[in-house]
Amino acid sequence: MAQLTYREAIARGIAQEMRRDESVVFLGEDVAAAGGVFKGTVGLLEEFGPQRVRDTPISEQAILGAAMGAAMTGLRPIAEIMFADFFAVCWDIVANEIAKSRYMTNGQMSFPLVIRSGNGGGLRFGAQHSQDVSNWAMMIPGLKVVAPSNALDVIGLMAASIRDDDPVIFLESKGLYASKTEVPDTDVVDTLGSAKVLRHGGDATIVSLGMMVPRALAAAEELAGHGIDCTVLDVRSLVPLDTQTILREVSATGRLFTVEENPRLCGWGAELSSIVTEEVFYDLDGPSVRITTPHIPLPAADALEDMALPSVERIVTTIEKSMNS
Amino acid sequence: MAQLTYREAIARGIAQEMRRDESVVFLGEDVAAAGGVFKGTVGLLEEFGPQRVRDTPISEQAILGAAMGAAMTGLRPIAEIMFADFFAVCWDIVANEIAKSRYMTNGQMSFPLVIRSGNGGGLRFGAQHSQDVSNWAMMIPGLKVVAPSNALDVIGLMAASIRDDDPVIFLESKGLYASKTEVPDTDVVDTLGSAKVLRHGGDATIVSLGMMVPRALAAAEELAGHGIDCTVLDVRSLVPLDTQTILREVSATGRLFTVEENPRLCGWGAELSSIVTEEVFYDLDGPSVRITTPHIPLPAADALEDMALPSVERIVTTIEKSMNS
Amino acid sequence: MTSTATDVSTKIALYRTQYELRLFEQRAYDLFLENLVKGTSHLGLGQEAIAAGVAAAMKQGDWTFATYRGHNHTLARGAGMTPVLAELLGRANGLMAGKGGSMHLTSVEHGMMGSYAIIGAHLPIACGAAWSAKYRGTDQVSVAFFGDGTTNIGAFHEALNFAVVWQLPVIFVCENNLWMEYTRTTEVTAVPNPAADRALAYGLESIIVDGNDADAVFEVASAAIARARAGQGPSMIEAKTYRHGGHSRADPGKYRPDEEVKEWLAKDPIVRYRARLIELGVPLEQIEAIEAEALAKVDTATEEAKAGATPGEDLLMKDVWADGGSAWRN
Amino acid sequence: MTSTATDVSTKIALYRTQYELRLFEQRAYDLFLENLVKGTSHLGLGQEAIAAGVAAAMKQGDWTFATYRGHNHTLARGAGMTPVLAELLGRANGLMAGKGGSMHLTSVEHGMMGSYAIIGAHLPIACGAAWSAKYRGTDQVSVAFFGDGTTNIGAFHEALNFAVVWQLPVIFVCENNLWMEYTRTTEVTAVPNPAADRALAYGLESIIVDGNDADAVFEVASAAIARARAGQGPSMIEAKTYRHGGHSRADPGKYRPDEEVKEWLAKDPIVRYRARLIELGVPLEQIEAIEAEALAKVDTATEEAKAGATPGEDLLMKDVWADGGSAWRN
Ligand SMILES: Cc1ncc(C[n+]2csc(CCOP(=O)(O)OP(=O)(O)O)c2C)c(N)n1
Ligand SMILES: Cc1ncc(C[n+]2csc(CCOP(=O)(O)OP(=O)(O)O)c2C)c(N)n1
Ligand SMILES: [Mg+2]
Ligand SMILES: [Mg+2]
């Protein structure tokens, strides 16, 4: 066991799978010689060489097109889109090509590929480098969507994503790159579509994802001090979605609170709230409440960004107010 | 008064505003000489000339970039993206540039522009020409999103969108282009953010949009015959969203059913369901239920496409089953 | 496969392919008029020489990437007429069981790696396949077909640069039929030869070929493919041609000057090629036999496609995922 | 404004601008080391001659579109040092009250129409402004700056073709500093001069200029702008330069060979320009006065920026919409 940062876990997870399987290749901007702008892929070039770890031009459509064409012909590429906001310049390859081609060809093709990307806010990068795009990906049929909240999950879910025969959008929370977790020295392989119960409580269920998970946990601790005992779930993968665990835990407490990083409209929390309402309505003791970034572009200034993203404080007061009304 | 098709209403609405305001210009692929691939802009070139109505190369980023640059310097451009699926090749200009730049510049710039596009399925065009992208647009802060369901609304909402000082994504349901509505011969100007109650009923509220509106209405007629009397709402604009009308009507009936064209995950119905659950939970008599396309790419064959899109029959059986359980 | 077009058996094969494509597309048009073709379709009438010439220069295992105007290319790589026609009719015996439609013809077993309906998208995808061949050390090549109007979209530029920088075995073939949908490409393009005049921007040779001459196409394609197999990287070929009909099913193509249409109909690749065969001494009976066989093939395909079942609910929810299903939740 | 760089008063102004930019960026770097600059920033140290030379060739009312590496361009168009620096510090007196940050500097009143942080996006946007000038019959021009690495993204290609086809008054200025973030551009680019070698693909003249010589930049920019104003359409200029530091705040730039860095530091545009002024007979005292004034200006800006208030909640929900608010519902 050793303490590993979330950023180190990226390279660890990729290396684990590259060692195992020659068909795994990796491409992106500044990922090889430089080890990535977030230093998430340091050492991969040195270990696996320039045929398997490749720098590209600033051509996101080419990067993802290359990944798609390689995947349909037998490789298992991992592509990096440096900041998740840049999905916007190559969204066609993601949403119209990679996601739909298996279905359109009646299953003639598979796309075993992973697109990993630094997602979300917290680093004062401003509106074009901070958007949480988890809902962009979730809404497209044919994409799996994974977002780990700690280094151990990074490794295990990365391995599961690489081994998966479908395209996976792997969203790394930029705000978590520096966070540390205890991880075993042996290989780690996790399962897509399994939410994790991080805390048990009888009063309400808080569901969170990525960078919001540590905040949800901290809020739960604080709420416990105020007499509100919460279950905390880490969704981990939006597609496939572990509705069984979520519905079970919400039914048990009778209340759902979602904590989302994305701006308000059409986030995963909305989907989840609607599933809960539709399927376990009669188990609910009160309204489901979503805690999100307001529906605004993310501002750059530290003070403003901190006000915009759901904070521990906002989670606590929102839940307290709702539970006491 | 005259019967006008939805497709004719497009040109009518645009022409009405171009006559009024010289700063309104229009660009897109095959929109001028050819009058648009859906024949939605026939006659505009002839009336307003080649400086105001312009054909472009197949360069969607250039089209929308041009619209954005023109809008920030005093024009009121209307740009066509031929099929809404093609937003994927220019999503950066929409989601990262047009939507965010007013906020990022602290209000120094405005973007009075309209992007109109043929949206959704029903014409057997297959997965890359049939996606409903209403949720793509709704989830981006800084975009207004309009989707008319009939020729009269096309004119009035087009006029309102052109006059609006913010960027509007104007989604025309391809499946409705041939539909006809009575429209007055005089100018029509409508209001963004106002839902319309199309039918009053005491048992449940059906909320729909675009091509789903006539289906929701037909379903309500059929349900009335089965003793279930529904209110039917046409949302018309997703942003701004007329939550007042929606919440009022849902509270009045105690039940919400949404009928969405988009695939299942993270559609506007999810957002609406979550708002209703959060804000009028105690007025609900039963679960809110969403009727959507399944979470699959849209198939091309007529038989398959008809199974995928919410049909009158599916709306009826879903509501009936839910109301009787 | 490095033989040039000079030998007669290749020529006869090229004629057969072109003639079959022609009859197939004409039949597709007839069936559209009968209201049996669902959705849209984009015919390759007039452009047969390019599909035939390039396909003849390719080997089994090579990959074709086409556009929505991909019937010719799919058939030229060996996919059956029945499944292709049945796909147009939205039948369960279609090439993709009706799930893709005319614009997305795909037959992986024939190396037909998809028809793509968003302008330009397949160009980088073809690079990816080429990369995978190079990485795995096979000698496979990718060929991507695209139209003149496609040269103005971003993905074109990214793919070309990428292919050159990575020295990929990919051949980009521009079928320049002068028109986009209803707009003349030169009206919205900064250079007269939309592909060839851009080649230098990627350090590539500028190659223009008569796209209505299957032999000429076969020759330039063979050379480009040989270079790619030899590790000498990508090529771009601009083939000048013309579509005989409108852009897609509903379009009569009236925006084109009569003179221009007449001029190009006079250059019909199939009429020309037939004359060439006769000139070369191929017996008329042999040619007529080929033509009769083609017609019989198209007739059979028509019967079989029409007899195809309507796809059922089982297909609807199938094959979103590699496990064969479409579940997004447990 | 059609004067060339030969007159001394223009030269002195060019020196002043360059020197101010230099001191400003150095100060920004110091404040970053003091942990006062929030988020990221991309300095233009070493590239001052381009910003200064082009801005001097522009008129009031013309429009600048820059990248995230836009401090130089914003200041060169006349925006105040205090608001720019305060923006870097995330203060309420920042150019955009802290809402945009270093990567999005915008000052519409100075014709600084935004700094764009997604590679290539602003190139078509600059076309749009140029279109609007042409449509309204003003003589305004758009100038868009971009890096060498940006020439490989799709938007570059679309913008160039579009500008030429519509004959727009827009000037594309490539600041070729040899590097993308940490990758050498020639390693991933098919041609040696990433912008100039592409000009022909759009029917444009290939223009290369010494980007470390403000006079040379001023001259080519003046000529291009004159052509644009005269209705002769767009130009593309590739200016060779070098960034003295790393790509962004955290980057020491160690991936660059020492030799290369040394070579380019020897071509420092400001050192060279100062020598030229002296050679021309400009009194040393005059130069030193300019330098002292620049320092005083930067010091004042530093004070004022540091004294800026923290932006409050009122700003957070403001100005998503033209009505000043952010409501998405009633
Ligand atoms: C990104 C995108 N924009 C627009 C279209 C609509 N469209 C389909 S075909 C076509 C014309 C293409 O012209 P060209 O590349 O010359 O090919 P051709 O149809 O002549 O074979 C257009 C504009 C599209 N499919 N995708
Ligand atoms: C679409 C997109 N891809 C990648 C990036 C990340 N990125 C920011 S700057 C940069 C390098 C740009 O190099 P160049 O164009 O030469 O400009 P320079 O920074 O040298 O001024 C990259 C890759 C981005 N901002 N946008
Ligand atoms: Mg064409
Ligand atoms: Mg550079």
Per-residue model confidence (pLDDT) at position A1: 83
- Residue C171's nearest CA partner among C237, C116, C108, C105 is C237
Indicate the residue of C96, C126, C128 with minimum beta-carbon distance to A104: C96
Do residues C41 and C32 lie in contact, with contact meaning Cβ atoms separated by under 8 Å? yes
CB contact under 8 A, C132 and A74: yes
Do residues B161 and B237 lie in contact, with contact meaning Cβ atoms separated by under 8 Å? no
- Asked whether residue A188 is assigned to any structural domain, the reply reads no
Q: Tell me if chain C has a CB within 8 Å of the CB of B264.
A: yes
- Residue B129's nearest CA partner among B83, B181, B71 is B83
C2 pLDDT higher than 90? no
- Asked whether residue B191 is assigned to any structural domain, the reply reads no
- Asked whether residue A34 is assigned to any structural domain, the reply reads yes
Q: In what order do the strands lie in the sheet with B237-239?
A: B53-55, B24-28, B76-83, B114-119, B168-173, B144-146, B237-239
- For residues A23 and A145, membership in a common domain is answered with yes
B106 token code pair:
């602290």
Do residues C172 and C235 lie in contact, with contact meaning Cβ atoms separated by under 8 Å? yes
- For residues B43 and B136, membership in a common domain is answered with yes
Do residues A59 and C87 lie in contact, with contact meaning Cβ atoms separated by under 8 Å? no
Q: Whole-number mean pLDDT of chain D?
A: 97
Chain D residues whose beta carbon lies within 8 Å of the beta carbon of residue B137:
none
Tell me whether strands B289-293 and B256-263 are parallel, antiparallel or unpaired.
Answer: parallel
B303 token code pair:
């038989």
Residue of B nearest to A95 (CA): B88
Indicate the residue of A86, A127, A271 with minimum beta-carbon distance to B266: A271
- For residues B51 and B30, membership in a common domain is answered with yes
Per-residue model confidence (pLDDT) at position D1: 38
Do residues A228 and A324 lie in contact, with contact meaning Cβ atoms separated by under 8 Å? no
**Touching B: which chains, 3+ CB pairs < 8 A?**
A, C, D
- For residues B22 and B158, membership in a common domain is answered with yes
Segment (H or E) for C229: helix C214-229
The residues of B assigned a catalytic role are 129
Do residues A262 and B139 lie in contact, with contact meaning Cβ atoms separated by under 8 Å? yes
- For residues A86 and A229, membership in a common domain is answered with no
CB contact under 8 A, A25 and C135: yes
Chain A residues whose beta carbon lies within 8 Å of the beta carbon of residue B296:
103, 141-142
CB contact under 8 A, B89 and C119: yes
Say what the pTM is. 0.98
User: Last residue of a domain, which of B154, B183, B212?
Assistant: B183
Q: In what order do the strands lie in the sheet with A230-234?
A: A196-199, A230-234, A204-208, A256-263, A289-293
- Asked whether residue B204 is assigned to any structural domain, the reply reads yes
User: Last residue of a domain, which of A183, A215, A246?
Assistant: A183
Angle CA(A267)–CA(A242)–CA(A180) in degrees, nearest 5? 80
Per-residue model confidence (pLDDT) at position B287: 98
Q: How far is A83 from chain D (nearest CA, A)?
A: 10
Residue of B nearest to D164 (CA): B57
Mean pLDDT score, B257-266: 98
Exposure string for D65-103, b = 16+ CB within 10 A, e = fewer = bbbbbbbbbbbbbebbbbbbbbbbbbbbbbbbbbbbbbb
- For residues B178 and B205, membership in a common domain is answered with no
Residue B305 burial (CB count, 10 A): 27
- For residues B154 and B46, membership in a common domain is answered with yes
- For residues A126 and A258, membership in a common domain is answered with no
Residue A280 burial (CB count, 10 A): 17
Instruction: Give rounded-to-5 percent helix, strand, coil for chain B.
Output: 40, 20, 40
Q: What is the distance between the alpha carbons of residues C258 and C235, in angstroms, rounded to a whole number? A: 34
Residue of A nearest to B136 (CA): A136
Q: Which residues contact A221 (CB under 8 A, 6 or more apart)?
A: none
| CATH code where residue B259 lies | 3.40.50.920
- For residues B71 and B162, membership in a common domain is answered with yes
Confidence of residue B310 (pLDDT cuts 50, 70, 90): very high
Q: How many domains does chain A have?
A: 2
C4 pLDDT higher than 70? no
C249 pLDDT higher than 90? no
Chain A residues whose beta carbon lies within 8 Å of the beta carbon of residue B136:
136, 139
* Alpha helices (runs of H) in A172-238, residue ranges in sequence order: 212-225
- Asked whether residue A191 is assigned to any structural domain, the reply reads no
Q: Kindly report, residue by residue over B189-230, the tens digit of the pLDDT.
A: 999 999 999 999 999 999 999 999 999 999 999 999 999 999
Mean pLDDT score, C80-90: 98
Mean pLDDT score, D55-76: 98
Distance D165 CA to ligand 3 centre (A): 17
Per-residue model confidence (pLDDT) at position B161: 99
Q: Kindly report, residue by residue over C273-317, the tens digit of the pLDDT.
A: 999 999 999 999 999 999 999 999 999 999 999 999 999 999 999
Confidence of residue C1 (pLDDT cuts 50, 70, 90): very low
Give Dmax (Cα) for chain D: 68
Domain that holds residue A220: 196-324
- For residues A244 and A306, membership in a common domain is answered with yes
More confident residue, C251 or C178: C178
| CATH code where residue B12 lies | 3.40.50.970
What torsion do the CA atoms of D287, D290, D296, D300 make, to the nearest 10 degrees?
-150
CB contact under 8 A, C90 and B303: yes
Q: Could you give all domains of chain D from N- to C-terminal order, each with its CATH number? A: 8-59+120-301 (3.40.50.970)
- For residues B266 and B175, membership in a common domain is answered with no
Instruction: Enter the ipTM.
Output: 0.98
- Asked whether residue B281 is assigned to any structural domain, the reply reads yes
User: Last residue of a domain, which of B121, B149, B183?
Assistant: B183
Q: Kindly report, residue by residue over A22-81, the tens digit of the pLDDT.
A: 999 999 999 999 999 999 999 999 999 999 999 999 999 999 999 999 999 999 999 999
Per-residue model confidence (pLDDT) at position C133: 98
Q: Nearest residue CA, atom 12 of ligand 2? A: D180
- Asked whether residue A190 is assigned to any structural domain, the reply reads no
**Which phi and psi angles does B259 have, rounded to 5°?**
-120, 110
- Asked whether residue B44 is assigned to any structural domain, the reply reads yes
- For residues B21 and B168, membership in a common domain is answered with yes
**Touching D: which chains, 3+ CB pairs < 8 A?**
A, B, C
Q: How far is A97 from chain C (nearest CA, A)?
A: 8
A257, β-bridge pairs: A206, A289
Q: Kindly report, residue by residue over D249-284, the tens digit of the pLDDT.
A: 878 999 999 999 999 999 999 999 999 999 999 999
